[in-house]
Structure 1
Amino acid sequence: MTLLAAITNPSAAAAAAAAAVAANPIVLTPGAAPPPPTSSALPTQIPPSDWSLSPADPALATAASFLSTSLSSTSVSLPRFRSLLASFLTTLSNSLSLPAPSPNLPQAIRSVSPYFPAALASPVASRAANLAEYDVLLALAECGLLRHPPPSLLSSLSEADRPELVCAVVRQAADLRSSELLATLRCFLSPASNAAYDAMMSVKNRWKEAAVLAVNRCKEKGAGKKVDAMARQAALLLMMGYDGFTSPEVCLHYLFASENVDSLVFGAAVSELDGGEVVTLMKYLTKWIGKYQRFPEAQACPEAVGMPGLELCDIVPSFRVVAGALGLVFDQHFSHLALNAELKEDLKAAEMMVKQLATEAESAGPILDLLRRMQQDV
């Protein structure tokens, strides 16, 4: 039947189609027939009260807006700042049915840190730095609430001779501008005062305590093999980061172990360093190259990071980051380094170490390829 006949005589077209199906039945599911349905009843409808979200507490939004607006005022005094922050923490705890916050503000921030609004962390930190309320700032940084610190925070902390707070902020920050990296580098490479150097010494003392703790764990008897291996690896990392480094250089660990060593941004910051700062940075990075040459078995130990006293294992710069940073320093200041007669021996030592490491990497290449192929065959 033609298309025109089917349109003009639809009843005849339907009869012809039925006859065709009867003569040539279409099997949609070959094989055995599907099992009959167990039940034809529809699922029970869920009442809206069981799945709908409860409305947000308007008091919390009002308190957050009030705190943000109040902190933007330049006339906020230290008592007023403490009162505003304490009031907001109380409202936050009441809104989320949490225990009443401690009167100690740093302790209260740590207790509610998983629920502290990220948008408020930066203005609170900026105002705390301006008012020298450094305990509050430290609590925000240690709780990971300053992933995006305010632009002027690191420079203001450097000017206030608080490099230990710069370490805490840089350790948690995710994306720093070149100006912020430059302020951090200058803070660590050239301490501005005796107070700043004393603060850096306190940072290095924490590394010493952690290294001694890791060594003592290696001596503990009755521990399992996995615990022994973890303790040895942690002790190796911490001793690498402590031995042979000055107090300012230990503070540099926090920068190079963070997520901020981007080639473009870091290169822009390094290009602004003066001659003395470049030399100090080059010697610091060369020390790390020598460490990894001497201890090639050193590697990250995430199991130790979660253990009390061994958290600093996470602040050991990797060989990849160190080598990349050293390359950027040479790219930006090659003429100054090559023409400096005092650096001749240092440059030769760095060249020798890099060549040896490159040779070892090339010799290990075929073995790594063989191991990958064996894993694929298995």
Structure 2
Amino acid sequence: MTLLDVITKASASTEPHTSQADHPIVLNTDDIFFNLKPEVENPNPTSLVNPLTGWGISQTDAKFIDLSKKFYTKLNRNLKDIHNFNKEEFIGILNPFLEKIKEKGRIFIGVDPNDTGYTSVLLEKVGFLIGRDVLSLVLEACISLEIWELLEVLIVNGLVDHSCYPNLVVNIAAKKQSDLLCLCVKHARNLGSVELLCILKYFLCPPKDSYVSMVNVRKEWESQALLAIEKAKLGKKSRLAKEASILLMVAYDGFLDPELCLHYLLASNNVDEVILSSLLGKLVGKELMNLIRYLGKWFEKV
């Protein structure tokens, strides 16, 4: 079967892709291409195509693939029976998997296994070696089991695949995790209009139970403002730090917790004039009133 036949067959398939890929990690191409050699001793220099031999997966990549497949199969089986699967059991299979990845990749962690946050550090350090399929399944487990600290690691370190964000944003909003929505806005690239509208509506008319998680957002603003003030007192760049501290306080004073979250969205690179215009056109009633009230606070500060 030619490459064209393979592509044509895959394109014609209407069945959804539900199984794990044969190569669930990004292969090390240096090891692969280095071993490629012409099939014939003296290839025709005028030929557009010359057969090559020696293609093979490195031993390290093969180990990563084997580890990933076993972990994926086990976790997928447990998630199908989520009511009999808990956080402790998940961590119990996640940590050994991450530790094996760490060993194979020869990565130094520098954190004792008994320390709080050990799993978060492991995931942060070795996450880039884990394939998309496996990370997406870990993401699903974090949401289902409400392990927010690990979900934060995935978002902040860019380990969430772009295709996962539509469902992720909806699920986070449903779970009323406002601080994680802010992290999505800050760290995700090219969020779609559906996700942005969901976030905008959420911050304009937040559910009653969502204010608890917004406290973390206010604390973040406070810590950044205090840090800027401290920097304003020191160093050659004190003028720049002073200006930054003033801007932070302007953006902080007088704004409610949901409005502080709204700062992140409207200042995001995900939102341009065209997208913003489209989003505003889909707001109604109380959403529009709250937006006008929010913008009015900015006008008062000008």
**Structure 2 length-normalised TM:** 0.68
Cα root mean square deviation, aligned: 2.8
Give 2:192's aligned residue: 177
What is the deviation of 1:259?
A: 2.6
Counterpart among 220, 225, 247 of residue 257 in structure 2: 247
Check if 1:75 corresponds to 2:85: no
Task: Tell whether the 8 Å contact from 2:176 to 2:207 is kept in structure 1 after alignment.
Answer: yes
Letter in 1 for 2:95: A
Which digits, 9 at most, give the CA deviation of each residue in 1:27-76, with x for residues without a partner? xxxxxxxxxxxxxxxxxxxxx9xx66954431211222333344444224
Letter in 2 for 1:92: I
What is the deviation of 1:107?
A: 2.0
Give 1:208's aligned residue: 222
Give 1:60's aligned residue: 64
1:125-204 correspondence runs (5 A): 125-146=139-160, 148=162, 149-193=164-208, 195-204=209-218
User: Take 2:161 and 2:291, find their aligned partners in 1: how far apart are those partners?
Assistant: 25
Asked which structure has the greater RCO (Cα within 8 Å, sep 6+), the reply is 2
Which digits, 9 at most, give the CA deviation of each residue in 1:297-319, with x for residues without a partner? xxxxxxxxxxxxxxxxxxxxxxx
Counterpart among 284, 289, 292 of residue 279 in structure 1: 289
Letter in 2 for 1:57: D
What is the deviation of 1:279?
A: 2.0
Letter in 1 for 2:267: A
Letter in 1 for 2:71: L
Aligned length: 238
Task: Tell whether the 8 Å contact from 2:124 to 2:157 is kept in structure 1 after alignment.
Answer: yes
**CA distance 1:102–1:252, shift in 2 (3 Å):** farther
Which protein is bigger by CA-based radius of gyration?
A: 1
Give 2:100's aligned residue: 91
User: Take 2:222 and 2:145, find their aligned partners in 1: how far apart are those partners?
Assistant: 32
Give 1:258's aligned residue: 268
Task: Tell whether the 8 Å contact from 1:181 to 1:266 is kept in structure 2 after alignment.
Answer: no
Farther off after superposition, 109-118 or 208-217: 109-118
Deviation >6 Å, runs of 4+: none
User: Take 2:194 and 2:156, find their aligned partners in 1: how far apart are those partners?
Assistant: 23
Task: Tell whether the 8 Å contact from 1:146 to 1:169 is kept in structure 2 after alignment.
Answer: no
Q: Secondary structure at the match of 1:151?
A: helix
**CA distance 1:146–1:237, shift in 2 (3 Å):** farther
Give 1:319's aligned residue: none
**CA distance 1:123–1:282, shift in 2 (3 Å):** farther
**Structure 1 length-normalised TM:** 0.56
What is the deviation of 1:113?
A: 4.1
User: Take 2:135 and 2:267, find their aligned partners in 1: how far apart are those partners?
Assistant: 23
Q: Secondary structure at the match of 1:238?
A: helix
Check if 1:234 corresponds to 2:248: no
What is the deviation of 1:146?
A: 2.7
Letter in 2 for 1:63: L
Give 2:47's aligned residue: none
What is the deviation of 1:177?
A: 2.5
